Amino acid sequence: MDELIIAGRKFNSRLLIGTGKYSSSAVMAKAIEASGAEIVTVALRRVDITNQNDDMLTAIDRDKYLLLPNTSGARTADEAIRLSRLARAATGINWVKLEVTPDPYYLLPDPIETLKAAEILVKEGFVVLPYINADPILSKKLQDVGTATVMPLASPIGSNQGLKTRSAIEIIIEQANVPVVVDAGLGLPSHAAEAMEIGADAVLVNTAIATAADPVKMAESFKLAVQAGRMAFVSGAAAESQKASASSPLTGFLRNE
Query: Catalytic residue positions?
Result: 97
The least CB distance from residue 103 to another protein, in Å, is 17
For residue 157, state whether it binds another protein (rule: CB under 8 A). yes
Nearer to another protein, 89 or 246 (CB): 89
The least CB distance from residue 240 to another protein, in Å, is 33
What's the rounded Cα separation, in Å, for the pair 49 and 192? 39
Across the chain, which distance is largest between two alpha carbons, in Å? 87
Rounded to 10 degrees, what is the CA torsion of 75, 77, 83, 89?
Answer: 180
What's the rounded Cα separation, in Å, for the pair 166 and 155? 10
- Which of these ranges, 16-24, 166-174, 212-220, 245-253, lies near another protein under the rule CB under 8 A? 16-24
Phi and psi of 11, rounded to 5°? Answer: -135, 140
* Residues, the chain: 257
For residue 41, state whether it binds another protein (rule: CB under 8 A). yes
For residue 58, state whether it binds another protein (rule: CB under 8 A). yes
For residue 101, state whether it binds another protein (rule: CB under 8 A). no
For residue 251, state whether it binds another protein (rule: CB under 8 A). no
For residue 23, state whether it binds another protein (rule: CB under 8 A). no
What's the rounded Cα separation, in Å, for the pair 239 and 8? 34
- 33 Cβ contact partners less than 8 Å away, ≥ 6 residues apart: none
For residue 95, state whether it binds another protein (rule: CB under 8 A). no
Strands 15-18 and 66-69 come out as unpaired
Q: Residues interacting with another protein, by CB under 8 A?
A: 18-22, 28, 41-47, 49, 52, 55-58, 67, 69-70, 72, 85-86, 89-91, 157-158, 184, 204, 206-207, 210
